[in-house]
Amino acid sequence: MGTETKQLQWQENSEQTVLNVAGTWNFEQGLLDFAQFKQELESKPKLTHIVCNAKSLGPWDSSLVSFLIQLESCVDEVSYQNFPSGVLQLKQLAQAVPNSQTNETLAPRPSLTERLGLSVIESLKQCMHFLSFWGECVLSFVRFFQGKANYRRKDFLYFLYDAGPASLPIVTLISLLIGMIMAFVGAVQLERFNAGIFVASMVGFAMAREMAAMMTAIIMAGRTGAGYAAQLGSMQVNEEIDALKTMGISAFDYLVLPRMLALMITLPLLTIYANLIGIFGGALVSTWVIDVSWQQFWDTMLDTVGLENFIIGFAKSCVFGVVVALTGCYCGMISGRSATAVGKATTSAVVLGIVLIISMDSIINFVSTMLGI
């Protein structure tokens, strides 16, 4: 059988079956109808071995290679005679590339139960990894108090400034607005009962016990915690952390410890500052909206808001400082080695930090309520 230029001629004898390949084989002359050739091949007695002879072969291109590969898929064994070395080499190269995986050969999708089980197992692994990270941090702090931690004091001072004075503008703005909003909402409602003076109690209690610590922690999670994750993630990409380990330097002492110390020190101090600014914002609104004097506002607040509320808020800020620093450093240290992985680590640091802040706040509120504080 054949086309105008491509020629395939069968030569059969008692010893072997020969397929003579002749003529010009290129795409310009059109492709061979292999389906028709396969029907002709199947009409012959069972063939297990074919000898392809290219003694009369003319110009050729990869269309000939494609035909030979298709032929090998239909016959158990094919041998070649008088073929140019380029044809056989190109065929061997094409067969060396694995076939792309089709939809039919893909593994079946796991069932809902299996996917749920895998998610639980992965979550447990993440929890164990987080606990391991927490343990390394504890050991690093033990070395710090023993005077054996290997870290740069200059780095610690830089992180202390970045998490403290450099954060004052955003903390000031948010705390002032929160105090003003609470005072305005409270004034509108309390004025209906001629109890506007108790706006001072509401603002003072909310800022001291809840809002100052939580809002400051959320601000620091979005600002400093995300920054820690991005910094450490970038160091993972550049293999700087691996270099520290190669030199025998603890990455926890050198990178994590100064960041955690800085945030654990500055966040409680920022919370005290946020308390003052938030109460000041409430006093401003009370003076403008319900004509409460500054003296009346402060006297009412100090009479009704006990010191224990400020202590609870301060205790929360200490816990939140650990949470924000821990999540930021943890997400950065486990980051992958790509730009996308660094972005995911930064996002995870913020989301995980906020979730843990709210969770810890709920736990502390529950415990303090049970203790009657």
| Together in a domain, 35 and 168 | no
Together in a domain, 166 and 52: no
Count the domains in the chain: 2
Give the orientation angle of helix 339-370 with respect to helix 212-220, to 10 degrees: 170
Domain residues for 344? 122-370
Compute the distance between CA of residue 351 and CA of residue 344 in angstroms, rounded to an integer: 10
DSSP E strands, the chain:
6-12, 17-25, 49-53, 57-60, 77-81
300 and 330 share one domain: yes
Shared domain for 14 and 153, answered yes or no, is no
Which residue ranges of the chain lie beneath pLDDT 50? Answer: 1-3, 103
Provide the pLDDT for residue 293.
Answer: 82
Confidence (pLDDT) at 107 = 64
Residue 307 burial by CB count (10 A; 0-12/13-18/19+): exposed, middle or buried?
Answer: exposed
Q: HSE on the CB side for 112, CA within 13 Å?
A: 0
**Residue 87 within any structural domain of the chain:** yes
CATH of the domain at 24: 3.30.750.24
In a domain, 114, yes or no: no
Residue 1's pLDDT is 45
CA angle 26, 31, 32 (to 5 degrees): 110
Res 212: pLDDT:
92
Residues 179 and 312 in one domain: yes
pLDDT for the residue numbered 274? 95
- What does pTM read for this prediction? 0.68
Q: Is residue 116 part of a domain?
A: no
Residue 227 has what pLDDT?
Answer: 92
* Whole-number pLDDT of residue 351: 94
Report pLDDT for 215.
Answer: 94
Phi-psi region of 97 (alpha: psi -120 to 50; beta: other; left: phi over 0): beta
> What's the gap between Cα 65 and its chain centre?
46
In-domain check, residue 223: yes
How confident is the model at residue 187, as a pLDDT? 83
**284 and 173 both lie in a single domain:** yes
